[in-house]
Amino acid sequence: MAKKASKEKVIKAAVELFNVQGFSGTSVRDIAQKAECNVALISYYFRNKQGLLEQLITDFLEGYTAVIEVQVDKALSEEDKAYDCLLQAIWNVLVYQQKRPHLARFVHREITLDTTLVRELMSTYLAKEKHLFSTLLKKGYSNGEVYDLPDEFFLIQLKGMLNMPFLHPQYIREVYHLMPHDSTFLDKYFSQLAQWIGVHFKEKTVS
Amino acid sequence: MAKKASKEKVIKAAVELFNVQGFSGTSVRDIAQKAECNVALISYYFRNKQGLLEQLITDFLEGYTAVIEVQVDKALSEEDKAYDCLLQAIWNVLVYQQKRPHLARFVHREITLDTTLVRELMSTYLAKEKHLFSTLLKKGYSNGEVYDLPDEFFLIQLKGMLNMPFLHPQYIREVYHLMPHDSTFLDKYFSQLAQWIGVHFKEKTVS
Amino acid sequence: MAKKASKEKVIKAAVELFNVQGFSGTSVRDIAQKAECNVALISYYFRNKQGLLEQLITDFLEGYTAVIEVQVDKALSEEDKAYDCLLQAIWNVLVYQQKRPHLARFVHREITLDTTLVRELMSTYLAKEKHLFSTLLKKGYSNGEVYDLPDEFFLIQLKGMLNMPFLHPQYIREVYHLMPHDSTFLDKYFSQLAQWIGVHFKEKTVS
Amino acid sequence: MAKKASKEKVIKAAVELFNVQGFSGTSVRDIAQKAECNVALISYYFRNKQGLLEQLITDFLEGYTAVIEVQVDKALSEEDKAYDCLLQAIWNVLVYQQKRPHLARFVHREITLDTTLVRELMSTYLAKEKHLFSTLLKKGYSNGEVYDLPDEFFLIQLKGMLNMPFLHPQYIREVYHLMPHDSTFLDKYFSQLAQWIGVHFKEKTVS
DNA sequence: CATGAATGAGCCTTCATTCAT
DNA sequence: GATGAATGAAGGCTCATTCAT
């Protein structure tokens, strides 16, 4: 009865270790030990250490883009709500990451490498993310909600702000003594972000 | 004279490989091969693979904080120039990183790990960086240049924006088809950043 | 009815894989995959991978010696037919192997190892094979069919010739462009062999 | 002083182990232990376990064909000596193998597998061996030394006889109680072989 | 009968490092 | 200062096998 739901335990252990030590800094033996399972089981479940990596990352990014897409769909169906939907999408992304901080940090870090996997992820999930946010802005512009259509640098900086607290939680914790995983942190971080975005929109109705 | 400057070659090779594959994803043999030198020489120069890592990171962060400090000193000695010095400090940091993009990416990535080295770096260089920017803002506030003293979230987001293009150059390149290592990129990125900062200051005089 | 005869499928798969990759170069998973059955089933049928090996080899050698023994019995019961029986025994052995070329190659190869299994096989089947051929020659000598009793070197070379085409079919195919599994190949090979043997006998009556 | 000439020790250990257990039945740890060296050293010397295999086999076959080629050159340069050269070539091959019995057995066994390495060896060394013997026979025929040119089956059987005692030494030892590595064995085996060949030649002058 | 999860041992290879030269 | 041989540890992975179902 001790050995149940091993696959979940492996994933949990892997995420925590990858978060701390990085992917190539973590051995499958480390994972197996933390998950209290046999080493061979990891290959059995995920074919590879690489297979485990890919599953973790794609699962994360799948959900990541999903919570944005929800708002895009909404913005396209309803009228004059692009701004609200944009803010909600941002909020969703922040919450999504805060709910799985280990995984988020690990994925964002791993994506800074130059591997073929990363290139594939770029052309699917990250390109999609950009497209979704871009769609929201364009809708807001065509709605007349926004003064002038923000350029790509706006999107790039938005992207940076969305991920920063989850890629650098330790920095925030040790240098600023703030807790990026607290709900109060997220509230303030979001309001600051919303304020920055609001500059571009005519009527700011921050929730 | 031909085979001289091996140490420089090792550093160059290491930085490039770490940039692409990460630190623990790169073997000393890889480095030695790329630097066209003997493997043992790396241990000879840097005592360790870890020693090489530390030297690269501290060298980078040393220079990184230095280009900020210059402007802080200036702001403290001259009157009513905190805003200009802040912008100049930001510009300096951007240029500093753009001049050594491989190293910058690698260092920023490595700092997202949970090692004892990273904790040490946090409490020295990164804490100092925060202190420097904080000093600039406070000086601006005491000068009456700024409406209200921005809180820590402003600093956190500033930090994110400062490093983002150098930690995610591939993202910018492949998703946005922009060249983070071009000078035009830096100009636009900086002006966008300055605009964001300018909101907090009374008289915006972007250069 | 569809998934029946799994045991036969396992044997077939094992023989083919052992033939190509050798015994220790083949994993039970390879076999299970090729036989389209579960891995555990192999242990279930044969107790062991080793058990499978032993069954394959002994089955082969059992039949191998049997087709010789038939002719020995005949030679001992009838008069003045040792020579004919010898040739017929040789023919039987060649045909027997040609009918199961994969198994033959694999067994002959495996027998060149120094395992305890091989030593046991030596002292039973191979010793018996020698004894049978020896008996045929002695009968022929006592019958006066043969000039002088061939010594053991004759038997050794006979043995080599009997197995050679089935141990080295690839050699014959790729170097000589002959097809050891064709019936025409066997005819010619046999006639050449018979000619060599005939030198020792007084009246050659090759069929 | 304990660790010297390690490469030779590795080769010796490998040959002996491969001889007994086969290539894939032998682990590099077995070899390292027998050679009293570190495991990593094997990869260091031969890049691979496979690299070790290839070096052993090609070295063997290189020498194998060389001792035949010597006699072919001689036969082509001198007159009416094809028969003598053929016998001498055969003798050379037998002696060559007897001098390195472990290696010979291992190589001949490994060549019965269906690997890409084997196919390469076939098309170089084994095809060359056939060509050399074929050349000798043709020269003998054009010299008028031989009645009729023996066909390919003669060559195949010759090949079988040349290698048989070295591929199956254990068989000869345990079933026939003969010592294939004794010089007396080789003398008798050769004379038997020469007698068989002599049938095809007009004037037999066995040395 | 048949399966899939799970195991411990072992596989080959590469690792960072040392040391005699 | 620089090298290549050598090392022990660890790497990821596959192995034959077992067992509950």
Whether residue B157 and residue A118 make contact (CB cut-off 8 A), yes or no, is no
Nearest to D154 among C157, C171, C192 (CB): C192
- Token pair, residue B100, equals 């050594």
Angstroms from B113 CA to nearest CA on chain A: 5
CA separation, residue A192 to residues A88, B150, D60 (Å): 14, 10, 76
User: Per-residue confidence at D81, pLDDT binned at 50, 70, 90?
Assistant: confident
pLDDT tens for each residue of C115-125? 999 999 999 99
Whether residue A193 and residue B157 make contact (CB cut-off 8 A), yes or no, is yes
pLDDT tens for each residue of C44-68? 999 999 999 999 999 999 999 999 9
Pick the range with the lowest mean pLDDT from A20-29, B139-148, C93-102, D88-97. Answer: B139-148
Q: What is the per-residue pLDDT for B59?
A: 96
Residue nearest E10 (alpha carbon to C1'): D27
Measured between beta carbons, which residues in chain A are less than 8 angstroms from residue B168?
111-112, 159-160
Q: What is the per-residue pLDDT for D6?
A: 84
> For residue B27, what is the nearest residue in chain A, using CA coordinates?
A24
Cβ neighbours around A8 below 10 Å, total: 10
Angle between helices D169-176 and C152-167 (to 10 degrees): 140
- Token pair, residue D185, equals 């064995």
Q: How far is CA D39 from the centre of its chain?
A: 29
> For residue D17, what is the nearest residue in chain C, using CA coordinates?
C114
User: Per-residue confidence at D199, pLDDT binned at 50, 70, 90?
Assistant: confident
Contact B22, A24 (CB under 8 A): yes
In angstroms, the CA B177 to CA A118 distance is 16
User: Per-residue confidence at D202, pLDDT binned at 50, 70, 90?
Assistant: confident
Interface A:B, Cβ pairs < 8 A: 134
Measured between beta carbons, which residues in chain C are less than 8 angstroms from residue D161?
157, 160-161
Alpha helices in chain A (DSSP H): 6-21, 28-35, 39-46, 49-77, 82-99, 101-110, 116-121, 127-143, 152-167, 169-176, 183-198
Q: What is the per-residue pLDDT for B206?
A: 44
In angstroms, the CA A143 to CA A181 distance is 35
When pLDDT is averaged across residues D175-192 and rounded to a whole number, the result is 95
Torsion of CA D174, D175, D179, D185, to 10 degrees: -170
Name which of A128, A151, A94 is nearest B174 in CA terms.
A128
Say how far A42 CA is from F18 C1', in Å: 19
In angstroms, the CA B166 to CA D182 distance is 75
When pLDDT is averaged across residues B58-86 and rounded to a whole number, the result is 93
The dihedral of CA C10, C11, C16, C17: what is its sign? positive
Cβ neighbours around A177 below 10 Å, total: 8
Please report, in tens digits, the pLDDT of each residue of chain A (207 residues total). Answer: 344 558 999 999 999 999 999 999 999 999 999 999 999 999 999 999 999 999 999 999 999 999 999 999 999 998 778 999 999 999 999 999 999 999 999 999 999 999 999 999 999 999 999 999 999 999 999 988 888 888 899 999 999 999 999 999 999 999 999 999 999 999 999 999 998 888 777 765 444
Q: Is the CB of C27 under 7 A from strand E?
A: no
Pick the range with the lowest mean pLDDT from B129-138, C139-148, D44-53, D133-142. Answer: C139-148
When pLDDT is averaged across residues B66-92 and rounded to a whole number, the result is 92
Measured between beta carbons, which residues in chain D are less than 8 angstroms from residue C109?
109, 112-113
Name which of B192, B163, B130, B151 is nearest A189 in CA terms.
B151
The dihedral of CA A118, A121, A123, A125: what is its sign? negative
pLDDT tens for each residue of A51-110? 999 999 999 999 999 999 999 999 999 877 899 999 999 999 999 999 999 999 999 999
Residues 6+ away with beta carbon under 8 Å from D84: D205, D207
Backbone Cα Rg of chain C: 19
Structural domains of chain D, ranges and CATH numbers in brackets: 1-47 (1.10.10.60), 56-198 (1.10.357.10)
In angstroms, the CA C190 to CA C162 distance is 9
Residue nearest F2 (alpha carbon to C1'): B41
Whether residue D114 and residue C21 make contact (CB cut-off 8 A), yes or no, is yes
Q: Is the CB of D34 under 7 A from strand E?
A: no
In angstroms, the CA B49 to CA C89 distance is 71
Neighbours of chain C (3+ CB pairs under 8 A): D
pLDDT at C204 over 60: no
Interchain contact B/A (3 or more Cβ pairs less than 8 Å) = yes
Q: What is the per-residue pLDDT for B2?
A: 40
pLDDT tens for each residue of B153-205? 999 999 999 999 999 999 999 999 999 999 999 999 999 999 888 877 776 54
Q: Is the CB of D54 under 7 A from strand E?
A: no
Say how far A34 CA is from E6 C1', in Å: 17
- Token pair, residue A19, equals 């978060």
Torsion of CA C11, C14, C20, C23, to 10 degrees: -120
User: Per-residue confidence at D146, pLDDT binned at 50, 70, 90?
Assistant: confident
- DSSP letter, residue D206: -
Contact D190, D90 (CB under 8 A): yes
Contact D62, D96 (CB under 8 A): no
Contact D118, C174 (CB under 8 A): no
Whether residue C175 and residue D25 make contact (CB cut-off 8 A), yes or no, is no
When pLDDT is averaged across residues B72-101 and rounded to a whole number, the result is 93
Q: For residues A196 and B72, which has the higher predicted lDDT (pLDDT)?
A: B72
Cβ-defined contacts of A84-88 (< 8 Å, 24+): A84/A205, A85/A136, A86/A133, A86/A136, A86/A137, A86/A140, A86/A197, A87/A194, A87/A197, A87/A206, A87/A207
- Token pair, residue A47, equals 């074919």
Secondary structure of C93-152 as H, E, C letters: HHHHHHHCHHHHHHHHHHCCCCCHHHHHHHHHHHHHHHHHHHHHHHHHHHHCCECCCCCH
